Amino acid sequence: MILIVGLGNPGAKYAHNRHNVGFMAVDTIVRRHSFSPPRARFQGVACEGTLAGEKALALFPGTYMNESGRAVGEAMRFFKLEPKDIVVFYDELDLAPGKIRVRTGGGAAGHNGIRSITAHIGEAYRRVRIGIGHPGHREAVTGHVLGDFSKADQAWLVPLLDAMAEAAPLIAQGKDEGFATKVHLLTNPAPVRKFTGSAPKDNMKASKAGPNENSEES
């Protein structure tokens, strides 16, 4: 079984915040793969489904971001899971918008949701970091993170969420690198190649002269 966790703050006030992109990612996975309707569980909301034949539980902690670990720890203990069975989707300031990174373990890098989860279950869980970009100045970070995605952001955000949902079965199979690669390919399709060459000059001359114009009679 795999536990997929989306990080964010509960409530309509925060629904479109950059800080809630983890909620958005897991919600898109839930809808794409026809998980069960949400119900209150584990101090949050949970949906059940399958990914690549593997039982999956999608969890949206109902606590605020800095207490996310309470919900994750409760679900982990209930299902007798190990940290490697848990994948957390969350926002990352130090990644450019539209980029993702997948890793296991590591520090919190100032993210309160990650800090809380680590405090409850240790650090050896899997993470999908979703880039939201840095505003450039430390004093602008809070407003940036708790601000809504702009209309211009939708151009990269919607395709990225869709790509992560399509690639989600690879996460369930433990193919984290394959997941990251597929998301990259889906969001950066190869350009269509166009023919830019020209016909050889000799062939063009022969075509203009006609098939027998320059031939000798035998």
Lowest-pLDDT range, 60-64, 150-154, 193-197? 193-197
Q: How far is CA 188 from the centre of its chain?
A: 13
Give just the sign of the alpha carbon dihedral 91, 96, 99, 104: negative
What per-residue confidence (pLDDT) applies to 217?
44
- Asked whether residue 82 is assigned to any structural domain, the reply reads yes
Q: Tell me the mean pLDDT in the region 117-144.
A: 94
* Mean pLDDT in residue range 111-135: 96
List of E strands, the chain: 2-6, 39-41, 44-51, 54-61, 86-92, 100-104, 126-131
Q: CA 122 to CA 103: how far, in whole Å?
A: 15
Residue 60 Ramachandran class (φ > 0 left, ψ -120 to 50 alpha, else beta)? beta
- Between the two ends of the chain, the Cα-to-Cα distance in Å is 83
Range of the domain at 27: 2-187
Of the candidates 13, 5, 29, the one whose C-alpha atom is nearest the C-alpha of residue 147 is: 13
Residues 66-106: tens digit of each pLDDT: 999 999 999 999 999 999 999 999 999 999 999 999 999 98
Q: How far apart, in Å, are the Cα atoms of 17 and each of 3, 144, 181, 210?
A: 23, 9, 26, 70
Q: Is residue 202 part of a domain?
A: no
112 domain-assigned: yes
Residue range 38-58, pLDDT digits in tens: 999 999 999 999 999 999 999
Report the alpha-carbon distance of residue 76 to residue 30 in Å, rounded. 19
Q: What is the CATH number of the domain that holds 155?
A: 3.40.50.1470
pTM attached to this predicted model:
0.86
List, for residues 3-37, the tens digit of each pLDDT value: 999 999 999 999 999 999 999 999 999 999 999 99
The full 3-state SS of 153-168, as one line of letters, equals: CHHHHHHHHHHHHHHH
What band does 218 get if pLDDT is binned at 50, 70 and 90?
very low
Cα 108 to Cα 156: distance, rounded to the nearest angstrom: 25
Is 193 within a domain?
Answer: no
Check residue 216 and give its pLDDT: 44
Residues of the chain with pLDDT > 70: what percent? 88
> Which pLDDT score is estimated for 4?
98
Q: What is the average per-residue pLDDT within 113-132?
A: 96
Which residues form the catalytic set? 19
Query: Does residue 113 lie in a domain region?
Result: yes
CB 4 within 8 A of CB 44: no
| Interval 139-181: pLDDT, tens | 999 999 999 999 999 999 999 999 999 999 999 999 999 999 9
Q: What is the pLDDT of residue 213?
A: 47
Q: Quick check: is 164 in a domain?
A: yes
The answer to whether the beta carbons of residues 135 and 141 sit under 8 Å apart is yes
Whether residue 83 is contained in a domain is answered as yes
What are residue 51's DSSP bridge partners? 54
Whether 94 is in a domain gets the answer: yes
pLDDT given for residue 146 in this prediction: 95
Cα separations (Å) of 134 from 97, 105, 161, 199, 205? 9, 22, 20, 50, 60
> How many domains are contained in the chain?
1
Q: Does pLDDT of 208 surpass 80?
A: no
